[in-house]
Amino acid sequence: MSVREEFDRWASEGRDRGMEERHWHTAKHVLERMPVEAGDTVLDLGCGSGYAARALREIKGAGRAYGVDASPEMVRNARSYTDDRAVGFLQGDFERLPFETDSVDHAFSMKAA
Ligand SMILES: C[S@@+](CC[C@H](N)C(=O)[O-])C[C@H]1O[C@@H](n2cnc3c(N)ncnc32)[C@H](O)[C@@H]1O
């Protein structure tokens, strides 16, 4: 089963929120320590439910936050959890990121490979 298929299933079963709950205890310490300045552009690789992109906007004042995930269903769920227009979720692979060189200030990734 591909990463996309596996995590599409997780997302369609609502298990993305459970992952968020389990990972938040660790991730919050990393996110708090990231040297993000107001207005910076941040990226979460393998975003799952998208909690890190949302948190970097809320906690650190990032100007723009993106999450990329191989699973279209994860991306769909992540989009449904926020109406912040400065947070965007894209389906894609780490090997071919849809960003210009030097267009992202900070990147985060939690349990995604
Ligand atoms: C274990 S989940 C972790 C999700 C989230 N980072 C968290 O902390 O809850 C791993 C996620 O990374 C994504 N992923 C794994 N390999 C990827 C790749 N090569 N490109 C894009 N997304 C990938 C999966 O689709 C999945 O949603």
3-state secondary structure of 42: strand
**Number of domains into which the chain is organized:** 1
The pick from 1, 3, 4, 109 for probing ligand 1's pocket by mutation, whose C-beta has the most ligand atoms within 8 angstroms, reads 3
Given a contact cutoff of 8 angstroms between Cβ atoms, the answer to whether 8 and 66 are in contact is no
Cβ count near 62 (within 10 Å):
26
**pTM for this model (two decimals):** 0.97
Helical packing angle, 15-33 and 72-80, nearest 10°: 70
User: Could you read off the pLDDT of 15-72 as tens digits, one per residue?
Assistant: 999 999 999 999 999 999 999 999 999 999 999 999 999 999 999 999 999 999 999 9
Domain of 94, CATH number, reads: 3.40.50.150
Would you mind telling me the total number of residues written for the chain in this entry?
113
Which atom of ligand 1 lies at the shortest distance from residue 74's CA?
Answer: 27
Segments forming the whole domain that contains residue 41: 3-109
Closest ligand 1 atom to residue 3 Cα is 25
